[in-house]
Amino acid sequence: MITKITGRLTELSETAAYLECGPFEHEVYVPDFVRRQLGPKRGEEVTLRTIEFIEGNPQKGRLTPRLIGFLTPVEREFFELVCSVDGVGVKKALRAMVRPVRDVAAAIEESDVKEITTLPGIGAAMAERIVAKLRRKMTRFALMPERDLPDGESRKTDVERETVEALVALGHSQAEARKKVEAAREAGAKGKTVETLLTEIYRLGRG
């Protein structure tokens, strides 16, 4: 079983990373949250922790071995847990994982079914099954540190994290607080301190 692959990132599509390893180029499926992190690394050597699965229908006689890649073993472990829920499976999990592991894990830990249903392809019944099976296994994933980012982005995420904490102190859940901050940023909020970002959130009617 292939559990790790290292090569030069030659291309990045909507669903896969292409790694040049010696004379070979390998296609590795990646969830959207991994694809976004790989974006700045085109042309660089990267290492992905991988899962193998077989794609296709045996009754139609075509089975294709595939790899799914992650930047850390913890991300891979989280993905495998999600896939273990009845009715999810690899393809559905790949489509659904558009947000960072810590955000999804926090929503599961807080039994926030509404938040989980914002993931592509996850309906209310599926979200409830995910919560029922995984809620007590999410603490360490919800506490994952932010991945390394350029200085400017790192400062921005520090402000956003502290703003989330401030909103939680005001009575919001973790998932609600993160959603308010993200919605404000998408609406153009440019606050560079917790105080200014909170002001903009309330001004935009998201407090």
Tokens of 190: 């440019």
pLDDT digits (tens, 9 = 90+) for 89-135: 899 999 999 888 988 999 999 999 998 999 999 999 999 999 999 99
Say what percent of the chain tops pLDDT 70: 92
pLDDT band for position 84 (50/70/90)? very high
Give the mean pLDDT of the chain.
86
Average confidence (pLDDT) over 25-45: 92
* Residue carrying the six token digits 């989280």: 78
User: Is residue 67 over pLDDT 90?
Assistant: yes
Confidence grade of residue 145 (pLDDT, cut at 50, 70, 90): low
- Residue at token pair 């974006």: 39
pLDDT at residue 154 tops 60: no
Instruction: Please tell me the least confidently modeled range out of 12-16, 17-21, 28-32, 181-185.
Output: 181-185
Lowest mean pLDDT among 11-20, 74-83, 130-139, 186-195: 186-195
Q: Helix (H, G, I), strand (E, B), or coil: what is residue 189?
A: coil
Q: Measure the CA–CA gap between 187 and 181, rounded to whole angstroms.
A: 10
Backbone angles phi and psi of 110, in degrees to 5: -90, 5
Which of the 8 DSSP states describes residue 136?
A: G
pTM here is: 0.69
Which DSSP symbol is given to 170? T
Give the list of residues 6+ apart from residue 176 with CB closer than 8 angstroms, or none. 112, 115, 167
Q: Looking at residue 207, what is its pLDDT?
A: 43
Residue 151: pLDDT band with limits 50, 70, 90: very low
CA distance 83 to 75: 12
Q: Specify which residues 47 forms β-bridges with.
A: 6
Tell me the residue type at 106. A
Per-residue pLDDT tens for 162-191? 888 888 888 888 777 877 887 887 777 777
